[in-house]
Structures are given as structure tokens and as C-alpha cells.
Structure 1
Amino acid sequence: MKKIIIKGENVLNVPNLLSLYRLLAFPVILFMALTGREDWFVVLLCISLVSDVLDGNIARFFKLQTNFGAALDNLADIFTYAMALLGLFLFKWNEIAPHAWLLYLFLTMFILSYIIAFYRFGKIPGLHLYTAVSAGYIQGIFFFVLFVFGFYPWMYYLAVGWGVVAYIEKIFVLLWLDDIRIGVKGLYWLMRKKQ
């Protein structure tokens, strides 16, 4: 594979290509959702969800983590989960509506974390905290199960509730850090390091 160097990092690698796939799949998934093609929407969304799990694990296992890749992955995550949420509203809202308060809380914490990141650092927060990564896995499983097998309230509360916890931690980490960087595990580790 040919090397492409951006700011001293080799950015042409498998994890970044998987993230790029998710970005390129976004308009196709959006089209399927808006035209009511639920079957194709589900297939393409599930491929994106699986690639989201693979890219981070490949990057960590083979030590291919880069700042560019972290930002690309974060952007791809935003688009993938935006499509999952759109599908939730378009195809599954009747099941979700009685439990929507938690979803609204999650979306508030999500948006607040980005406002804080842009205010403090002027860029997308490419942090991959342990809570956020685990929340992403749980949410990916939830969306997969929701669209393929149906709605399970306990799974919804676990996925969205843990997402709220993850974004609250992310907000505290963003307020703590001097700059966004890869390799930050979480607030606990930042506090231990300071001691």
C-alpha cells in the first residue's frame, strides 16, 4: 500500500479506508432512508456499523492510530449514527416514542460535547475514551438488533443510558485537556496522571 503522509502521519491504512467507506456510504444510506427502502437501508447501515467496530480495533491492534484517523473515524461515526437515528425516527419511532426522554438527553449531551470541543479547540473531538468506545459498541449492537430483530427496551436503556454517561465523561475530559489528542483513556486516568 502506498504511503500518504499528512502532518508526519501515514494516513493510507486499512482503518482509515474503513472510515472513508462509512463516509462514502452515508449519502447512499440517506437516499435509502428517505425513499423508504428499509431493507437496503438496514443492510448498508449494518455494514457501516460492523466497519465501525473493525476500524478502531485494527488501528489499535496493528498500532495504526493517527490523529488524522481519529478525526476521520469520529466524522464517519457522526454520519453513521446520524443515519441510525434517522432510521430510528423513520422506521421504528412507534416503539421508541414512549422512551424518548432518554434519547433527547443523549442528544443534548452529544451536541453539548461538540459545542464545547469547537469552543475550546476549534475542531472535531477525536477522543476515543473507553466509555465512548464501549458505548459505540453497545449502540451498534442495539441498532443492529433494532433494525434486524426488533425493539428490546432493556437494550435501548443500556445503549442510550451508557451513551449519556460516555458523553458526560467526554465533556469533563474536554474541559480538563489543553488540547485534543489520541490515547486519552478517560477522566479517571487523567486525574491519576495529575496526582
Structure 2
Amino acid sequence: MSKAGLNLLTAITFYRIATAPLLLLLLWRHELGWFKWLLAVSFFTDAIDGFFARKYNITSIAGARLDSIGDDLTVLVAIVGMLVLKWDFVLREKVILLILCGLFIIQTTLALARYGKQSSFHTLLAKAAAILQAAFLLSLFFLPHPLYLIFYSMAIITALDLVEEAILVILLPRWQADVKGICWIKRDQVQSGR
């Protein structure tokens, strides 16, 4: 693991964490141009740090935890922006949004009960869900009307991801980072004779 590479990825992750309160301030001050562009940069840096971490095999447990915090804060700020700026959309799609919130609460509660901290699996479904979440949330702020095809795709993949992660919490007795998914866990268990 390259120390310089790890430091760069950590700095990118800290950028997302530090930007979250600034984004909320911009939202509160109705500086929507700055809000949407800095939110876009936050989502973009999430993609960059994940790409470089995989490409150069730069991983650490602390980095995985920080990355999850940065991801969650970025999505949370985008959701707050959606609640503030797109309330009509929220009311129209409240059932789907409440289901996703419920699944997130269930998965997080299971992880906290089992591991004493949030999960940081970064499964393939989680990566797909993150891309769709970013695409939908950014389109919501940059375009005049919601893109429902992206919204429904995001909702389905996010729901599947949250269910998979809840099952992984049940299957894995110890906290692990960077788990590809249930199929890989079951394959590894079969190969190891468990």
C-alpha cells in the first residue's frame, strides 16, 4: 500500500465529510447554484476515490469506514436538499421513499447491534445503488423534472442492496469491509467447508 496514495484517498474522503456541513449551509442560505455544483463534486470524488483504491489496491479498515461516512453524509445532504427543494416530488413518491428509509433503518440497526458500528461492505449492489442514487439526485437538482426511469431503477437496486446488506450482517459474525455480495460469501463458505 502506497502511503502517498492512501493519503490522497483519505484527503478526498475528508473533502466529502467536510463539505457536508458547507452544503447544508448553502442550502439554508438558498445558494442553490453552489449547492448543486458542490454536491456534484462530492459525488464525483466518491467515484474517483473508489476507482483509485481498486486500481492501485489501496485499502485500509479506517479508509473503508471513512469512505462509508463520506458516502452517507453526501447522500444525506442530497436527501435534505430533495426535502427542501423538491417537496412535491417527495409527497408524490412518499411510499417508495419511506420503504427505502425503513430498509436503511433495519440494515443499520442490525449492523449496530451485531458489530457496534455501521457496515462497510461496499457490495456490487451497493456500488450500483450509489451510482444510480447520484445520477438520480443530481438530475433532480439540475433538470426541471425528475427522471422517473432513473428514480425507479435506483429505488429497486437500493432496496435490493439494503436487503442484501441486512442478510450479510446476519451471515457474517465479524465486521468486514469490501464484501462483494452474498454469492461470494456463500461460495467462500462452501470452498472452506463451512
**TM-score, normalising length from structure 1?**
0.91
**Are the equivalent residues in 2 in contact too, given 1:20–1:76 (CA < 8 A)?**
yes
Preserved CA contact (<8 Å) 1:38 1:91: no
Query: Any gaps of 5 or more consecutive residues in structure 1?
Result: 4-9
Deviations 1:93-128 (CA, angstroms, capped at 9, x unpaired): 212321221111111111211111110011121111
Identify, as 1 or 2, the structure richer in helix.
Answer: 2
- The residue identity in structure 2 corresponding to 1:188 is C
Partners of 1:157 and 1:93 in 2: how far apart?
18
Does 1:169 pair with 2:183? no
Q: CA deviation at 1:18?
A: 1.0
Query: In the alignment, which residue of structure 1 is the partner of 2:182?
Result: 187
Q: CA offset at residue 12 of structure 1?
A: 4.1
* RMSD of equivalent CA atoms: 1.6
Cα separation, 1, equivalents of 2:87 and 2:9:
33
Of residues 113, 119, 139, the one that matches 1:145 is 139
Q: Which amino acid aligns with 2:171?
A: W
C-alpha contact (below 8 Å) 1:106/1:161 kept by paired residues: no
The worse-fitting range, judged by mean Cα deviation, of 104-113 and 164-173 is: 104-113
Cα shift at 1:11: 8.6
Instruction: Check whether the contact 2:6–2:58 (CA below 8 A) recurs between aligned residues.
Output: no
Report the number of matched residues: 188
Verify: 1:155 aligned to 2:157, yes or no: no
Distance 1:50 1:142 in 2: 14
Matched AA of 1:32: L
Q: Runs of at least 4 residues of structure 1 off by over 3 A?
A: none
Structure 2 partner of 1:6: none
Instruction: Judge which range, 150-159 or 71-80, deviates more.
Output: 150-159
Counterpart position of 2:9 = 15
What letter corresponds to residue 172 of structure 2 in structure 1?
L
The answer to whether structure 1 residue 104 and structure 2 residue 104 are counterparts is no
Shift in CA distance, 128/23, structure 1 to aligned 2, threshold 3 Å = same
Match status 1:85 vs 2:76: no
CA contact (8 A) 1:32 1:41 kept: yes
> Matched residues in 2 for 1:35 and 1:68: separation?
34
Alignment CA distance shift 1:85-1:98 (3 Å): same
Q: Is the 8 A contact 1:13 1:64 kept in 2?
A: no
Contact persistence 2:119–2:177 (CA under 8 A): no
Report the counterpart of residue 23 of structure 2 in structure 1.
29
Q: Distance in 2 between matches of 1:26 and 1:11?
A: 23
The normalised TM-score by structure 2 is 0.91
Distance in 1 between residues matched to 2:129 and 2:155, nearest whole Å: 8
Q: How far apart, CA to CA, are the structure 1 residues paired with 2:9 and 2:23?
A: 20
For 2:178 and 2:106, locate their aligned partners in 1 and report how far apart those are by CA, in whole Å: 22
Deviations 1:103-158 (A, max 9, x none): 11111111211111110011121111110111001111111111111311121111
